[in-house]
Structure formats: C-alpha cells, structure tokens
Chain A
Amino acid sequence: MRIQITRYTEIMMKYYKRIYTGCVLLLLIAAGAQAQITEKAEFGKFAITNATIHTVSDGVIENGVVLINGEKIEFVGKNAKITTEYQRINAEGKHLYPGFMDSGTQLGLQEIGAVEVTNDQAELGAYNPHVRAFTAINPSSASIPVTRVNGVTHVISLPVSGRLSGKATLIDLYGYSPDSMAVSPNAGLHLNWPSAQKGGSWDDRSDEKVQEEYEEDLKELNEFWEKAVFYDKMVSAYEEDPSNKEQPDADKKMEAMREVLSGDVPVVISVDRKQDILNAIEWTQKHPDVRFILAGVKEGWRVADEIAESGLPALVATLYTPERDYDNYQRPYQNPGMLHEAGVKVAIATGEVENVRNAPYHAGYAATYGLGKEEALKAITLNAAEIFGVEDKLGSIEAGKQANLFLSDGDPFEPMSQIEQVFIRGYKIPMVSRHTQLNDEYLDRGAESTN
C-alpha cells in the first residue's frame, strides 16, 4: 500500500507539468466557453444625430448626422431625412470618430504571455511565409472586448518569430470566427530585419563577428528570396502556357511568396536602429515590384529624411524608453512627429497584446510631442487604412465606408475621456468587457467580510 502511494506520487510528479498545462487549458476553455460577448450586438439602421463628427477625410462637422444602414455608412452631413426605421441616437455634446486601428499587435494570437499554451504568435522555423496569423485568431480572446470598448476597432495582428515570421492579418474586433472579422486575411508578410548592430552591453560579440553574422543572415534571406522569384517565374510560365512545360513541384513556402512578389501583399519590415533601417531601405530598393512597410523604427528620427526619400511608410509606437542612455528623454514620443515632418506617412502600432486599448494614448503622445492632434488622428485611422490598402472601407467617416465609429464624451486621446458607444461593421457593440463585468460585480460587493 505504501509502495503504491509512493508510485502514485511519482507518477503524479512525472505528469505534474502535463496535468498543470491541462488544467490551465481547461480553465481557459471554460473561460472561452462563456464567450466574451456577453450581450448580442445590435444590427440594423441607426441615425446618430447632433454629433460633432470628426470625419478625418473631410474635416469636422458640427451638429451633424450619420446614418448607418447595415454594415455601411449611408450618409454623413448636416441634414438628413430620418425615417422611423432608424434607431435614433442623440449625440448632443458628443464626438464621433472613425474606429481606431492599431497597425501592429499580437491581439487574438496570445491570451496570457507567461502561459505558453496560449501563445500562437511564434511558429518554429526561420522562414514561414506560409504561416498565417488569420488561422490562429481567437475571436473569444478576453482581450478583444477590452480593446474595442476603448474605441480601437481594428488591428493588424502579426506573427513574430524567425526571419519571415508569417502573414499578418487585418481584423476588426467584432465577430465569432476569424473569417467574419477579417478585413484582409493576408495583410502583410512580417520580416524581422537582420541586425548589423550589437545588441547591447550583454552582447559580447566582436564587431567583426556581428558583421559576419549579419552578412550570413542577409545572404540567407537573399537566397530564400531568389528562390521564391525563380519559383514564381516557373509557376507563372507554366500557368500561362502549360502545354510544353513540366509542372513545377508544389512548394507552399514558395507559393506563399507569390502574392508578396506580385505586390499584392506588402512586406512589413521590423527594424529599429539607424544603420539597420538604412540597410533595410537599400534592400527594399532592389525589389521594385514588392510593397514594403517599415515597422518599429525606434531610431527612425535619426534617419527621417532617408526614410522619407524611400517613400516607405512607418508603423510606430511612442511609449517606450529612448534607445540609448544618452538620447534626449522625449525622442520616443517625438519619433512620429519627426518622421511626419520629414515626409513619412506614419501610423500607430503599439506592439501590445492585452493593452492594445492604450493605442489612443500612443497617438496622444505623438500628438503632444510634435505630430499635432490632426495628424495623430490620421496616424491611428486613415493613414493606417491607406498603408494597408483598405482606405475604401476603413479609416474615415464617409458614406459608403464600413460603419466603424465611436462616440466619445471628449477627446479620445485623453485618458480621462469616456468612450460611450462603439460601432464595428455596423454592429452596435455592447460596451461590456471582462473588466467592466468585474467592476459591476465588485464595486459594491455587498457580502459581509469575515476577516
């Protein structure tokens, strides 16, 4: 009996990790099963009246009307005939903004950072152009309602590991499946640019070694790229005229590169430091048919003119510390403004997961430190839509566009303002999230304390 107990304990310990992981999974599944959307969103016809409309594309309309019909905005202007079919929302004293977009996150791909089984943003392997964030988006992530009730209606969610991490996806933050949320399932291919810079004081490689490793990484990237170009040529030739050619063997990695090489899907290059940015720009110029977007660019301000000259847009965050101890304290906040001033098209990308809801404050910092309110608003709306080629649907309050907008009692860049109602694709979103639910339950808990 005693032996049996010991053995049982041994077995328990052996499988402890697995059991633990299983328990965490079960808990998460249980949490997910409750769904994150606690009330159904309303859909139909809405008339928002008396609002101060920040259209982004066409200035500000005071006391304006926006009509929403199904998924789309039907009318934006001063006077509209509003029939009884429309549910009226009096927005007197309120401000109407287009839904905000965060151009670089892992929202929907990661639930809990430290719990590995909930992390889907990093696939194994260095070259994964065929891996798609779209596949792994979890519509029931608790972080999604938390994000959208702050006015953020769209995100670019991207895989992060290796050299070519996989395809980023552009989703809206309402839906019960990735398909229903997708604006562009394949919105970009994420490339982590190989660095020719030392990492920091912990990096004990010699300068020669750093350079050698960079050249090796770049060679590998170029070889992969050339192989993809060759594959694309072969397949294209065969597709054009299959009669007297052998069909090339299928290669899903190479196949996934074709939409990139044709310029249909842009390459999002994460690169932060000055020399690396310059190297990346030089590299992009060797591929004139491919669309490129820079991301991160923490030291972009050092080479703002060069970036502007390249014509590449930049996806940037503001809430991080300066890259170098000796940099001016406010450089991260100023980076978007300095890039814009040089002529770079800038959009906001927080790089966050559960706190994508802070995207408006990233824009607020950019506004305060040189970008200005108007441009900062563009950086989190229309610029983002244009950079990803979806400006026909997103980014401004215009008739014909998707009804992605929110009502606020003030400036949404101010943390003190309240976001009162969000619409995504015409759906009137319940302003509920795990955070509001817990607040409702515990603010005045009531139960007698026993301690």
Chain B
Amino acid sequence: MKKFILLSCIVLLVLGHNGYAQEKGSVLITNGTVITITDGTKENTDVLIEEGIITEIREGIEAPDGVETIDASGKYVMPGIVDAHSHIAAEDVNEWTHPVTAEVSMEESIDPNDINMYWALAGGVTSIHLMHGSANVIGGQNETLKLRYGADMDALRFDGAPRTIKFALGENPTRVHGQNFNVQPRTRMGVEQVIRDHFEEALDYKRNRQQYLEAKEAYESGNRDNPPVPVARNARMEVLVDILEGEIWVHCHSYRADEIMMLMRVFDDYGIENYTFQHANEAYKIAPELRKNNAYTSVFSDWWAYKFEVYYSTAYNASILNENGVKNSINSDSGELIRHLNHEAAKTVHYGETSKEDALKMITINPAEQLGIDDKVGSIEEGKHGDVAIWSGHPLSIYSIAEKTFVDGKKYFDREEDPDDMRVKIDPETDYDEASRRWYEESGRHGDSCLRGAEIRFNENGMEL
C-alpha cells in the first residue's frame, strides 16, 4: 500500500509537471484586423481562444467568464510564424562522423534555456523545425518544437508532428567527408551513390531482419527445428527503412538545380513522396520539375554568394517558385533572421511582386504543411491551436512590431512587459563582465550554422568554414 501511494505520488507529480509545462491558455482578442491566411483578412474581428484552441472567429464575441480580453483595435492579428529551418535551441547540430548518421536525432539535443527562443517569440514566431546540420548526406532526425519558452525540453516538443530527417547535398557533405579524408562522397556523383547504396542496404536489412524474426518466431513456437542466424537490430537501418516507407519526411539541404533533380530521380526510384528542399537556391531553374513531383521548397529570401554553389542565385527564387505553383516557404536558418521572418517574406513582394497574401503564406501555412502540422497551426481557424501574434501594423511593413505572442493561448511574449535585463535578480544598471556570445556570432553570418559542430573537420586541416 505504501508502495502504491508512493507510486501514485510520482505519477501525479510527473503528470502535474507536464500539465504545468504545457499549460494552455484562454484569451479573447477583440477588434483586430485578423489575417486568417486560409480565409482572407477580416477587419474588426474577434478571436476567441479557449484552453489553447481557437473556438470562435467573428465580430462581437462576449468573453466567457474568467477569460481575459485584449483590445487589438488598429492592430493586426496573425497566426504564429512557423520556421521550417532553424538551429536555435540546439545543444548539438552535427554528428559529422559518417556520411550517413540517420540514427541520431535532435530529439535529445534541445536546449530549453536558449534565449533565442524568446527573441524568436518577439518576432512573432511560435513553431520551429529544429534541424540536424548539413555535414552528412543523410544526417540526423529533426524535431519540431513549439516555442513554449520557459518549459522543459519535453514540453517544447510539437505533439503529433511527423518525424522528419535532414539530408544534405553538394559542398557541405563533399567538403566534410570527401576532401582530404577520402571518404565518399567527394563529388555530387558520390552523394547520389551514398544515398542509393544506403537505401539498397536498408531494403536488404529489412528483408533479412523480417525473415529472421519470422524464423525466430517459428522456432520458438516449435514450427522450425533449428534457431535462425540472428540479424541484429540496426538503428541506422531502421530509420532508413522508415524513410523508404514514408514514415519519415525528408528535408534536404540543397542548392544546385542538378543535385535537386538527382534527388527527385532517386526518390522516384524508391517511391519516396513527401520531401522538402531546404535552401534550394537554384530551385527556380527547375520549378516545373519540382511542381510535377509535388516537391516542397523552403528558401532564403535573399542570401547568396557566400559559397560557390549559391553564386548563381536570385532573390526572385521564392516568387518564381510561387508563380510556378511550387509550395514554398521562407526560412531563417539563423538566430537573427528568425527575429524578422515577416520582413524576409516582405522581400518576395519586392523581388517578384508576390502578393502579400502569398508572402504571408510562405511563413505560416506553407511551412506548416511542409512539417505536417498544417492541421494544427499556420492559420487562424476554428479548431486550430491558439498560436497567434498581435502586430502593431501590417506584418509585412518594416514599421510593424510583434507586440504580443501566444502559444496555445498562453502569452509568451509581451512587448510591454519585456524586461530590460533578463538576468535573474540582477539590477540592469549594475555592471557585468561575463560574456556569453553565441557560436554564430563568432563565426559570422557567413559561417553557415548548418556546419556547426563540424568545425574540427576544417580547423585541423587549416580549412575555413
């Protein structure tokens, strides 16, 4: 009995803790200009969020008992921004030790204390795709997070988000593995073969393992005389099999049109259907092919020329893809850009005169679709999560500021309450001498955060990132 009580207490504690961490909120936001994304923009409209879920969108909603009302007159209400490519809140980014490390995962590499999450919330961002780096052809598995800043690692996870994995083509994997280390791949030809070889190996593994398990069962139930030779469970192969079976979606670091075409051919051969090309600076060259294959793209608004494979880029990439019917998102891949993805999206209006509606889709519903969470976030719809931000003006204007950001109806950022100094129990006027600069600041914007953790590969050989 004593044991039972103790156990119950532990269970309650664990449940209680999770319940606290994933606390959901209720709020009524009134009289705002509501950019729903999927159902137009509605002026003077109220949005009611109850227990984390959007329950009503219309004029003149009465606040239920105990629900706080926030007046958004003259302001814009927009769904929380979804960043399809981020490395903030990562403990480690690259397991660079082999061209294929499908078995590793960002799942246990989340830093719940990373201030970058709070800063991203200040830019109206509510969900991120925390990705493994690009040192390997088949890197690690990614993790989709909600920016419930202040919660613990588990509470940051986006429940129900599909599993995804990082692939990488081109210069990064060929430099990390091939150049000076004589490990395939050294070329884009080798990159293709690494993928095909591992897919073939995975198919063999699946068959052998299946046969072994069946034989083992037969032996154990007396339907077979001799025990079979064991085929050990292989974590790397298991993940590759899951990719082949469509259970894990691929997000592939890629730049050049030829390598993007290559991967589409490979995926076609193996029947892999759901994939997003990340960065994809030259996707504009093959927009019709991407459309034909129902491939997604997630691009920078204007980064280019930081390495040779992005020299023939155009800032019109996103708008060309959009015009050609490719579902595209704008991502940050940066602790700085994530703070103003709205203005990165606005650049698609500048370059290519994309409509404002489509520009906003590129940072909300499109990335949500690419991450398989579009049934939950990415637009303001009844039944969806209460992940919204209130903006001082139209979110695409440079003069607009995210004033309040909600995740699951709970307020995680409020400009009015934003402290001058985030240190605990410290007077902001006091002096300081301890620095805490971040890796990407030291390495600069051009350092390519995708290669974080793989520096040793370069430093030991006098190469620069």
Contact = CB atoms under 8 A, between A and B. Distances in A.
Q: Do A and B come from one complex?
A: yes
Main secondary structure of the interface of A (DSSP, over half): loop
Interface string B304-315: 111110011111
B336 A321 contact: yes
A125 interface: no
Contacts of A201: 435-437
Contact of B122 (A111, A325, A330, A434): A330
B288 A449 contact: yes
Interface stretch (B4-12, B40-48, B344-352, B361-369): B344-352
Contacts of A323: 435, 437
Interface string A319-342: 111111111111000000000000
A328 B442 contact: no
Contact of A358 (B302, B312, B319): B302
Interface string B260-275: 0100110010000000
Interface residues of B, number: 72
Interface in B439-464: 441-442, 446, 464
B306 A113 contact: yes
A217 to B, nearest CB: 18
Contacts of B398: 361, 364-365, 367-368, 413-415
A368 B264 CA distance: 44
A435 interface: yes
Interface stretch (A223-231, A281-289, A436-444): A436-444
Contacts of A368: 398-401
Interface in B303-358: 303-308, 311-316, 319-320, 323, 335-336, 339-340, 343, 346-347, 349-353, 356
A321 to B, nearest CB: 5
Contacts of A321: 116, 119, 335-336, 339, 438, 441
B419 interface: yes
Interface stretch (B79-87, B191-199, B420-428): B420-428
Interface string B64-79: 0000000000000000
B305 A143 contact: yes
Interface stretch (A69-77, A192-200, A259-267): A192-200
Contacts of B287: 442, 445
Contacts of B265: 451
A416 B316 contact: no
B442 A199 contact: yes
Nearest to B288: A449
A323 to B, nearest CB: 7
A172 interface: no
Given A328-B420, A417-B350, A435-B351, A322 B119 contact: yes
B19 to A, nearest CB: 29
B308 A24 contact: yes
Interface in A81-115: 111-115
B197 to A, nearest CB: 22
B218 interface: no
Interface string B113-147: 00110110010000000000000000000000000
B307 A439 contact: no
Given A321-B336, A435-B315, A354 B433 contact: no
Contacts of A115: 307-308
A113 B311 CA distance: 10
Contact of A451 (B293, B303, B314, B418): B293
Interface in A363-410: 364-365, 367-369
Nearest to A450: B289
Interface string A296-340: 000000000000000000000001111111111110000000000
Most chain B Cβ neighbours within 10 Å, of A143, A273, A329? A329
A31 B311 CA distance: 10
B118 A329 contact: yes
B344 to A, nearest CB: 8
B346 A202 contact: no
A142 interface: yes
A117 to B, nearest CB: 11
A199 B339 contact: no
Contacts of A39: none
B306 A416 contact: no
Given A114-B308, A355-B303, A451 B437 contact: no
Q: How many A residues are at the interface, by size bracket? A: 35 or more
A415 B347 contact: yes
A436 B314 CA distance: 7
A418 interface: yes
Interface in B231-283: 261, 264-265, 268
A142 to B, nearest CB: 7
Contacts of B335: 321
B416 to A, nearest CB: 13
A116 interface: yes
A130 to B, nearest CB: 26
A294 interface: no
A88 to B, nearest CB: 26
A449 B421 contact: no
Contacts of B286: 449
Nearest to B446: A113
A150 B50 CA distance: 45
A146 B336 CA distance: 22
A31 B285 CA distance: 18
B307 A200 contact: no
A435 B314 contact: yes
Given A327-B421, A435-B315, A354 B285 contact: no
B397 interface: yes
A204 interface: no
A329 B339 contact: yes
Given A326-B422, A361-B398, A445 B288 contact: yes
A112 B306 contact: yes
B264 A364 contact: no
A60 B430 CA distance: 44
A199 B423 CA distance: 19
A150 B464 CA distance: 31
B442 A200 contact: yes
Given A355-B302, A439-B352, A451-B289, A328 B419 contact: yes
Interface of A: 24, 31, 111-116, 142-143, 146, 197-203, 207, 273, 275, 319-330, 353-355, 357-358, 361, 364-365, 367-369, 413-418, 434-436, 438-439, 442-445, 447, 449-451
14 contacts: A111-B305, A115-B307, A199-B442, A321-B438, A324-B432, A358-B302, A364-B398, A368-B400, A414-B397, A414-B399, A415-B346, A417-B350, A445-B285, A445-B288
A-B pairs with lowest CB-CB distance, top 8: A200-B437, A439-B316, A114-B307, A364-B398, A354-B305, A438-B314, A415-B346, A326-B422
Given A328-B420, A436-B314, A447-B288, 9 more contacts: A114-B308, A200-B437, A200-B442, A207-B433, A321-B119, A325-B436, A435-B351, A439-B352, A442-B284
Interface of B: 115-116, 118-119, 122, 171, 261, 264-265, 268, 284-289, 292-293, 302-308, 311-316, 319-320, 323, 335-336, 339-340, 343, 346-347, 349-353, 356, 396-401, 418-423, 426, 432-438, 441-442, 446, 464-465
